[in-house]
Amino acid sequence: MKKKKYDRLKKECFEYLREVFAPEERIFVFGEGNLNARIMLVGEAPGEEETVQQRPFVGKAGKILNMFIETLGVGRDEMYVTNIVKFRTVKKNENTGRLSNRPPRRQEVSLCMPFLLREIQLVLPRVVVSLGNTALQALSSNVRAAIGKEHAKTANMTLPGGETVCLFPLYHPASVIYNRSLAGVYEDDLKKLGRLMRERFDRGTP
């Protein structure tokens, strides 16, 4: 039942985005994973490798993410992973012509947010982990929220259908690639997340 709803949602999302960007052709990347997951990870947008493979979190950030989730004792097959924006957001180097990732703009977030909320409602995890500033701001509905201040601070997130899930902000795993000093902070936050998961999963806390 959930699989059929998931397939319909993915198809609807891609058809809508193709219409928005027509005649430009873009590659879209939808979320994937366990549709009954108790934990969902939400990043900002797919990168270059994710766009090539058309899967979320398979690039460098995905490798670091996989290393970290192993410390939680939860396999990726027990999670659902997705991004706020379903397409790569890029900027062009005027000197070299090379494309690199950039944070999604507000209008790009607004374009995809309704589909993300429906993803969350479909899976209905107990904990939603936002990765980075963009995901935190979108899921907390606070454009001024800063991951540097809010990381590892839990909050309740109310979905359009009235359901409530726990929001747990983390630094984006790509941050550790560019700023190795964050590795210790990230590991400490993961330990807090591990305690939260044990509390909510083992005791059945909603």
For residue range 107-163, list pLDDT tens digits in order: 999 999 999 999 999 999 999 999 999 999 999 999 999 999 999 999 999 999 999
If you average pLDDT over residues 177-186, what whole number do you get? 88
Residue 59 and residue 50 in contact, taking contact as beta carbons nearer than 8 Å: yes
CA dist., res. 58 & res. 65, Å (int): 9
Phi, psi of 181 (to 5 degrees): -65, -15
Among positive and negative, which fits the CA dihedral 47, 50, 55, 56?
negative
Dihedral angle of Cα 177, 99, 44, 26, to the nearest 10 degrees? -140
User: Alpha carbon of 142 to those of 157, 162, 167, 188: distances in Å?
Assistant: 12, 19, 13, 25
For residue range 7-18, list pLDDT tens digits in order: 999 999 999 999
Radius of gyration of the chain from its Cα atoms, rounded to whole angstroms = 16
User: Which pLDDT belongs to residue 126?
Assistant: 95
Domain ranges of the chain: 2-197
Least trusted range by pLDDT, from 9-13, 30-34, 64-68, 106-110: 64-68
HEC profile of 43-90 = ECCCCHHHHHHCCCCCCHHHHHHHHHHHHCCCCHHHCEEEECCCECCE
Select 2-197's CATH number: 3.90.45.10, 3.40.470.10, 3.40.50.2300, 3.10.20.600: 3.40.470.10
**Cis peptide preceding 104, ω within 30 of 0:** no
